[in-house]
Amino acid sequence: MIAVLSSAPSAVGVLADLSYWQQTVIKAGVVAVVIPTAALILGYVFLLKMMSFVQSRLGPMEAGPHGTLQLLADGLKFLQKEDIFPEKSDRFVFAAAPVMVLVSTFLLYVALPVGPDAVVSDLDAGVFYVLAVSSLSVVGILMAGWASANKYALIGGLRAAGQLIAYELPLVLAVVGVIIQAGTLNLQGIVLAQANGEIFGWGAIGFPYIFTQFAGFLIFLIAIQAELTQPPFDMPVAESEIVGGYQVEYTGFRFLFFFMGEFGTAFVFAGIASVLFLGGWYVPGFDVDSNWLNLLGPIVMLVKIMAVSFLVFWFRFTYPRFREDQLQKLAWKVLIPVALANIVITGILKVAV
């Protein structure tokens, strides 16, 4: 096995021999498989099982061992549902909205590195790209809210727009500290900077930025919670107030798209958080160019993603919901000043040390 791996050309080498369209098809295929799988894993482990255990119940137990196939069954059920358009809806926009949300998720996966060569597209401005693309989903949500021709959906869509714009800012500002420290916008570069770093001259585990950017990590977590519209920031969907918000008129596979978009985005944001703050795919003790890391990296990333997702979903299951104006207050009066202070301190230390 080892001999095969070390003698065989690297994965990138194989890909490089193919023509551009062949490479693109393979990459698109990988991403298209990863998104539903990620949504299934997160949905099963956290939404079904962890939530049940938090709430002192068992959760699904019948479909497959311990209900592992429950979400597949649910997905099949969604596909069988009638595709309903509300009478006064704008049919084209209504149909395009869930696709828009899913496209935003799809594009996020493109830049997520899980190994030295295992990345779909290694962009030089990776961080910038990720933050820009993630806000595309707002457009989809606004489209859904407006096109549904429903008052609850409209309120939900507008709340989502206000909330996502407010939380885009702390999200970006929280990341700036990392960028200053790493000195690059490239996600692979940030991983390498953490892998090559040392803690007080001791470089055994590299230097995950969570140690210096802890405030940034917390702000990032809170902001992605709001970005994903999960409790305590789930006002755009708020079942008990506006009965699902922008999702209220959606059924069948269009609703499934929103669902996959939400959990797929949760997965990839947890991935980005682990790249930015937890050291990404790097395993201490390996050479950063080692081909082994292409194999181990995805596993390490999965573990880190699950750890970050655990935090995200823990808040989701235990916290009540903020009010819309209280959320804006938290964003503008607490998170942004703290993030700015974090940037200033990081900058001063970067120059001074």
Partner 1 sequence: MNTTTREQMAYIAGQAADARLNVELETEGMTLNIGPQHPATHGTLRIVARLDGEQVIEAEPIMGYMHRGYEKLTEVRTYPQVTTLINRIDWLGSFANEVPFILAAEQLMEIEAPPRAQWIRTILFELSRIANISLFLGDMGVQLGALTPVFYAFRDREFVLNQIEAVTGGRFHPNFDRIGGLKDDLPAGWIEETREVLGKMRTFCDELEDLLMGNEIFEVRTRGIGIIPADVGLSYGLSGANIRASGVDWDIRRDNPCGLVYDELDWQVWTHPDGDSFARYWVRLQEVREATKMIEQLFDGLPSGPIMAKVPRIIKVPAGEAYVETENPLGAMGYYIVSQGELVPFRVKIRSASFNNLSIAPWLLKGVYVPDIITILASLYFILGDIDR
- Residues within the interface to partner 1 (CB under 8 A): 51, 54-57, 151-152, 155, 231-232, 234-235, 238-243, 317-326
Nearest distance, CB of residue 159 and partner 1, angstroms: 8
Whose Cβ is closer to partner 1: residue 254's or residue 316's?
A: 316
Nearest distance, CB of residue 59 and partner 1, angstroms: 11
Q: What share of the chain is helix, strand, coil (3-state, %, to 5)?
A: 70, 0, 30
Tell me the C-alpha distance between 326 and 87, whole Å: 35
Nearest distance, CB of residue 246 and partner 1, angstroms: 15
Q: Determine the angle formed by the axes of helices 91-110 and 126-134, rounding to 10 degrees.
A: 160
Tell me the C-alpha distance between 28 and 13, whole Å: 18
Whose Cβ is closer to partner 1: residue 19's or residue 240's?
A: 240
Tell me the C-alpha distance between 42 and 267, whole Å: 7
Nearest distance, CB of residue 272 and partner 1, angstroms: 26
Whose Cβ is closer to partner 1: residue 128's or residue 315's?
A: 315
Nearest distance, CB of residue 113 and partner 1, angstroms: 34
**257-268 core/surface letters (b: 16 or more CB in 10 A; e: else):** bbbbbbbbbbbb
Peptide bond into 232 cis (omega under 30): yes
Whose Cβ is closer to partner 1: residue 286's or residue 317's?
A: 317
Q: Determine the angle formed by the axes of helices 292-318 and 252-277, rounding to 10 degrees.
A: 110
Residue 141, classified by CB atoms within 10 Å of its CB into exposed (0-12), middle (13-18) or buried (19+), is buried
Q: How many CB atoms within 10 Å of residue 184?
A: 17
Whose Cβ is closer to partner 1: residue 236's or residue 279's?
A: 236
Whose Cβ is closer to partner 1: residue 5's or residue 58's?
A: 58
Nearest distance, CB of residue 164 and partner 1, angstroms: 17
Nearest distance, CB of residue 333 and partner 1, angstroms: 13
Whose Cβ is closer to partner 1: residue 166's or residue 268's?
A: 166
User: Can you tell me which residue has the tokens 């207050």?
Assistant: 329
Our CA angle for 332, 337, 341, nearest 5°, is: 165
Which residue type, as a one-letter code, is found at position 32? A
